[in-house]
A and B are shown apart, each in its own frame.
Chain A
């Protein structure tokens, strides 16, 4: 799966994560969010922007870090992006999938 038919065409990897951080735009993010049945609210955008800023700084990310961001706590993060909040929000934010070293 290298392209997403319903989203504006941007290059993604085999798991649907954006290849180039700079390519990201709000339309694309909105489309990806729809695939998870998520309608993006201002709170969602605050989280997405925070994730993008942290990624640009070169910081390692985790759910707990988002929970300590001052934007949402962990429970609220789960409510915004149900299932796997960091992997889903990372995909929408156009940053790499959360991963271990292997």
Chain B
């Protein structure tokens, strides 16, 4: 009997367990998943909770109910991985051995990385929405807020779901407009990047949204600290941005388990050095990394974890047969971008191809508009919750290839002609 051990029962870990269980004989392979949290959160739903579009209870299920039979779910906290001896040590002292280890420990927001971000104004006038607690607390705040200066700030560029802060900004504009207090609210988007949009085609196609929605953008602002007394953000080059209500996207880091196991990237952010095509750990051949836990230059997003899971399932099957890897992950990502008022845009891209305009063929729904707002994209985003719980996590095939396709996309030459 061999053991596949999966650290983390989030989106990536759950998909991997269920996909591998379909492929590996029960009598020969044990599949174990360890996680310290009994709840599985539908994280894309956190975006909608602050605006009352989703109720908190809609985004939570018990992890143990999401695994196929013959998968052992262990509710426990991991202390560390001992890479050389193929062991995982739990906080309670128990030791688990493995033949293949899959690290799916994700990414977390760490407001403590920024001085005074989590100070006396935390959950009073400063909120995050990337956690269940943060999004619920922010919903209460927004319901009663009478207006003022709303600032959305990204403390870092390597964050989970990089489009969510923009989606939040667009939804906030619609929310305050529908409430009839938009004239009492100013919305400012403060980013360490050179702009709210950074890719040439996306900038060209979507920048007008910021103007239409009267959103001020402050680029190249790298947050150093927060002054809770004066209610200002302070950058490393001593620029200041005042706020009445701050919605922060704090620094993201990988799991503390990575730090305790001493297998993180040298930069101290606890993401694991990973081959960006095979998803094998650089540290050892029987360790694989998936989802937000990797250091690959792909978005930290559920769609990426999904496409990676298809590649990694094949690659792990090859590995245990002693065969060369057959599949390569191309960095494929596919995300709806909520733009407010019942519309959304869609982007589809990979390591080498930036998001392009055109149409995205989708069996059943019909072609979806890329880099353009449409109602059908918004319905797609809402329908995705059902797809997530019932198809994605259970390891069913979804009719989108893990490799990005150029079908329907308008390439550079055609774009110049327009």
- The answer to whether A102 and B194 touch across the interface, beta carbons within 8 angstroms, is no
Q: How far is the CB of B357 from chain A (nearest CB, A)?
A: 12
Q: List 27 A-B contacts (CB under 8 A).
A: A57-B273, A59-B273, A59-B295, A60-B297, A62-B157, A68-B268, A69-B266, A69-B267, A70-B266, A74-B224, A74-B236, A75-B236, A87-B194, A97-B194, A100-B162, A100-B193, A100-B197, A100-B199, A101-B163, A101-B199, A101-B335, A101-B347, A101-B355, A102-B197, A102-B206, A102-B347, A102-B355
Q: 0/1 per residue, B205-226, Cβ < 8 Å to A?
A: 0100000000000001010100
CB within 8 Å for A60 and B349 given contacts A68-B268, A102-B163: no
Considering the chains assembled together, what is the distance between the CA atoms of A99 and B333 in angstroms? 15
| In the complex, residue of chain B having the shortest beta-carbon distance to the beta carbon of A57 | B273
- The answer to whether A98 and B157 touch across the interface, beta carbons within 8 angstroms, is yes
- The answer to whether A78 and B236 touch across the interface, beta carbons within 8 angstroms, is yes
- The answer to whether A97 and B158 touch across the interface, beta carbons within 8 angstroms, is no
* Other contacts beyond A59-B265, A68-B268: 11, CB < 8 A: A14-B200, A64-B251, A69-B266, A74-B236, A83-B220, A84-B194, A98-B198, A101-B163, A101-B199, A102-B198, A102-B355
> Which size class do B's interface residues fall under?
35 or more
CB within 8 Å for A102 and B337 given contacts A87-B194, A97-B198: yes
Q: How far is the CB of A65 from chain B (nearest CB, A)?
A: 4
Interface SS of chain A: helix, strand, loop or mixed?
Answer: loop
Q: 0/1 per residue, B328-345, Cβ < 8 Å to A?
A: 000001010100000000
- The answer to whether A99 and B198 touch across the interface, beta carbons within 8 angstroms, is yes
| In the complex, residue of chain B having the shortest beta-carbon distance to the beta carbon of A54 | B267
CB of B14 within 8 Å of the partner chain:
no
| In the complex, residue of chain B having the shortest beta-carbon distance to the beta carbon of A73 | B236
| In the complex, residue of chain A having the shortest beta-carbon distance to the beta carbon of B301 | A101
Q: Which residues of A contact B202 (CB under 8 A)?
A: 102
- The answer to whether A65 and B269 touch across the interface, beta carbons within 8 angstroms, is yes
CB of A58 within 8 Å of the partner chain:
yes
A-B pair number, CB within 8 angstroms: 87
Considering the chains assembled together, what is the distance between the CA atoms of A29 and B104 in angstroms? 39
Considering the chains assembled together, what is the distance between the CA atoms of A78 and B49 in angstroms? 37
> Which size class do A's interface residues fall under?
20 to 34
CB of A16 within 8 Å of the partner chain:
no
Q: 0/1 per residue, B221-256, Cβ < 8 Å to A?
A: 010100000000000110000000000000100000
Considering the chains assembled together, what is the distance between the CA atoms of A46 and B202 in angstroms? 33
Q: 0/1 per residue, B342-370, Cβ < 8 Å to A?
A: 00000101000001000000000000000
- The answer to whether B296 and A101 touch across the interface, beta carbons within 8 angstroms, is no
- The answer to whether B193 and A65 touch across the interface, beta carbons within 8 angstroms, is no
Considering the chains assembled together, what is the distance between the CA atoms of A83 and B238 in angstroms? 11
- The answer to whether A102 and B199 touch across the interface, beta carbons within 8 angstroms, is yes
CB of A40 within 8 Å of the partner chain:
no
Top 10 closest pairs, chain A to chain B, by CB: A99-B198, A102-B202, A65-B267, A60-B297, A68-B267, A84-B220, A58-B276, A100-B162, A68-B268, A101-B299
Q: 0/1 per residue, A39-70, Cβ < 8 Å to B?
A: 00000000000000000011110111100111
CB within 8 Å for A78 and B163 given contacts A59-B265, A68-B269, A100-B157: no
| In the complex, residue of chain A having the shortest beta-carbon distance to the beta carbon of B268 | A68
Q: How far is the CB of B170 from chain A (nearest CB, A)?
A: 13
Q: How far is the CB of A36 from chain B (nearest CB, A)?
A: 13
| In the complex, residue of chain A having the shortest beta-carbon distance to the beta carbon of B265 | A59
Considering the chains assembled together, what is the distance between the CA atoms of A84 and B193 in angstroms? 9
Considering the chains assembled together, what is the distance between the CA atoms of A63 and B269 in angstroms? 12
Q: How far is the CB of A41 from chain B (nearest CB, A)?
A: 19
Considering the chains assembled together, what is the distance between the CA atoms of A94 and B349 in angstroms? 23
Pick from A64, A78, A98, A101: contact of B237, CB under 8 Å: A78
CB of B72 within 8 Å of the partner chain:
no
- The answer to whether B193 and A99 touch across the interface, beta carbons within 8 angstroms, is yes
CB of B192 within 8 Å of the partner chain:
yes
CB of B156 within 8 Å of the partner chain:
yes
State which residues 297-332 of B face A: CB under 8 Å.
297, 299
Q: 0/1 per residue, B266-294, Cβ < 8 Å to A?
A: 11110001001000000000000000000
Q: Which residues of A contact B166 (CB under 8 A)?
A: 102
Considering the chains assembled together, what is the distance between the CA atoms of A70 and B220 in angstroms? 23
Pick from A14, A60, A70, A84: contact of B295, CB under 8 Å: A60
- The answer to whether B236 and A98 touch across the interface, beta carbons within 8 angstroms, is no
Pick from B237, B269, B299: contact of A82, CB under 8 Å: B237
- The answer to whether B333 and A101 touch across the interface, beta carbons within 8 angstroms, is yes
- The answer to whether A59 and B157 touch across the interface, beta carbons within 8 angstroms, is no
- The answer to whether A98 and B194 touch across the interface, beta carbons within 8 angstroms, is yes
Query: Which of B163, B194, B269, B335 has the largest number of chain A CB atoms within 10 A?
Result: B194
